[in-house]
């Protein structure tokens, strides 16, 4: 069996594609990934859109259409027109998965403006606007799990909008997002119609921690390389079970038909070439989770992935790894806090680069 298909059939883990580009829908590539590899969703972010829009001429025809309809359109307005069309096309491809899963899978994610990461009310307004503009039930609005994003997540869930809470690196981030969902879904008139995932970033944690371990240089420190990210994710998965399957806060909403908010493993491409290329897929397999996988990693796992109940094994070792990290002087809270700040900045920078590229294209057409 195709290992990607086995992740769902044998382990009830959904595979989502962490990539979007217009040609993927136009040439049937996404439909083939759904049919052959069991792909059950799609995620996007400003970096992905930047690469897609500025790295090809696929979008030039629509840029001309937008400017013909509105010669004064801004770069932001042009970007949104391009992104919304791609998201709608992907959502239409994924609609069969959404329908067949009764609204638990088949989602496509679109991020609010990265410039609103520290603006609660602005995030809520932008999310509502994008939700209406895309007008697809299998859309998820991505909202960063910043201090200002947490209350926005709660309000959007309460309003019946599907949310992909993103840029989580720490257990504290996860708990804040999970409780925002619990509080929001308790206020939602139709909780069964709302889906949400909590996107927990993985490989970047190892990239940051490994540098510190190598600087420490002791055998004990070096022996912990490549272990922090998986242990961190396993602790979040443990907390997921405590909140959604053992705690009282979600019980009433569950009785009203609410879905759990699934953990989603993000940033699962391997950054360190000395690690296996499918490390962060292979070690994070477990039910009621999602792994959003970049194209290259997805193809690699298709050919040599080995699905097993890895999360159950990892939870048994996670505390020991965390104790070891603390013992050699790693302050994981400080590491993950900086990673979130850097992640917000990275997406904002990619968004600005995209707008500058679009400005150049627009200016050349107005000349």
What CATH number is given to the structural domain containing 137?
A: 3.20.20.70
Task: Match 């889906």 to its residue by tokens.
Answer: 195
CA separation for the pair 86, 25 (Å, rounded): 8
Going from the first residue of the chain to its last (367 residues), give the mean pLDDT of each consecutive group of 10, the final group possibly shorter.
97 97 96 98 91 89 93 94 97 98 98 96 98 98 98 98 98 98 98 98 98 98 98 98 94 97 97 96 98 97 97 95 98 98 94 92 80
d(CA 142, CA 359): 25
Spatial distance between the Cα atoms of 363 and 367, rounded to a whole number of angstroms = 6
Q: What angle do CA 56, 62, 67 make, to 5 degrees?
A: 120
pLDDT in tens, 222-271: 999 999 999 999 999 999 999 999 889 999 999 999 999 999 999 999 99
pLDDT the model gives residue 367: 63
Tell me which of 50, 142, 227, 361 is the catalytic residue: 142
Residues 6+ apart with CB under 8 A from 51: none
Residue 262, strand partner residues: 197
* 28: CB partners within 8 A, 6+ apart: none
Q: Report d(CA 188, CA 107) in Å as an integer.
A: 20
Closest CA to 260 of 18, 14, 92: 14
Q: For 278-307, how does the pLDDT look when each residue is reduced to its tens digit (9 = 90+)?
A: 999 999 999 999 999 999 999 999 999 999
Number of structural domains the chain divides into: 1
pLDDT of residue 109: 98
Helix, strand or coil, per DSSP, at residue 140: strand
254 is an active site residue: no
Q: What is the largest CA-CA distance in the chain?
A: 64
Report whether 341 contacts 46 (CB < 8 A). no
**CB distance 220 to 193 below 8 Å:** no
Rounded to two decimals, the pTM is 0.96
Q: Which domain holds residue 175?
A: 3-366
How many CB atoms neighbour CB 304 within 10 A? 11
Q: In the chain, how many H helices and how many E strands?
A: 17, 8
Per-residue model confidence (pLDDT) at position 54:
85
Write down the pLDDT at residue 335.
98
Taking phi over 0 as left and psi of -120 to 50 as alpha, with beta for the rest, 254 belongs to: alpha
Task: Judge whether 204 and 339 are in contact, CB under 8 Å.
Answer: yes
């Amino acid at each position: 069996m195709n290992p990607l298909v086995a992740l769902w059939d044998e382990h009830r883990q959904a595979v989502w594609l962490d990539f979007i580009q217009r040609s993927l829908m136009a040439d049937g590539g996404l439909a083939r990934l759904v049919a052959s590899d069991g792909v059950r969703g799609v995620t996007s972010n400003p970096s992905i859109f930047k690469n897609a829009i500025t790295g090809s001429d696929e979008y030039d025809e629509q840029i001309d259409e937008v400017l013909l309809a509105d010669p004064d359109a801004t770069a932001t307005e042009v970007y949104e027109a391009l992104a919304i069309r791609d998201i709608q096309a992907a959502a239409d491809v994924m609609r069969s998965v959404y329908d067949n899963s009764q609204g638990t899978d088949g989602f496509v994610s679109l991020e609010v403006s990265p410039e609103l990461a520290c603006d609660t009310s602005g995030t809520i307004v932008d999310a509502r606007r994008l939700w209406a503009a895309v007008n697809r039930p299998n859309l998820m609005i991505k909202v960063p799990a910043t201090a200002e994003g947490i209350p926005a997540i709660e309000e959007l869930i309460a309003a019946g909008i599907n949310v992909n809470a993103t840029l989580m690196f720490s257990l504290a981030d996860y708990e804040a997002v999970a409780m925002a969902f619990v509080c929001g879904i308790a206020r939602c008139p139709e909780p069964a119609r709302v889906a949400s995932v909590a996107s927990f970033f993985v490989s970047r944690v190892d990239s940051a921690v490994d540098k510190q371990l190598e600087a420490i240089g002791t055998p004990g420190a070096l022996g912990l390389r490549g272990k922090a990210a998986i242990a961190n994710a396993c602790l979040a998965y443990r907390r997921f079970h405590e909140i959604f399957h053992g705690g009282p806060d979600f019980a009433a909403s569950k009785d009203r038909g609410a879905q759990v908010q699934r953990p989603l493993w993000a940033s699962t491409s391997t950054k360190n070439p000395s690690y296996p290329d499918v490390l962060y897929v292979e070690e994070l397999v477990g039910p009621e989770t999602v792994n959003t996988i970049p194209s290259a990693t997805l193809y690699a796992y298709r050919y040599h992935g080995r699905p097993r109940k890895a999360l159950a094994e990892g939870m048994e070792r996670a505390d020991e790894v965390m104790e070891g990290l603390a013992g050699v002087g790693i302050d994981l809270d400080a590491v993950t806090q900086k990673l979130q700040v850097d992640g917000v900045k990275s997406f904002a920078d990619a968004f600005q680069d995209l707008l500058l590229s679009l400005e150049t294209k627009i200016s050349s057409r107005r000349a």
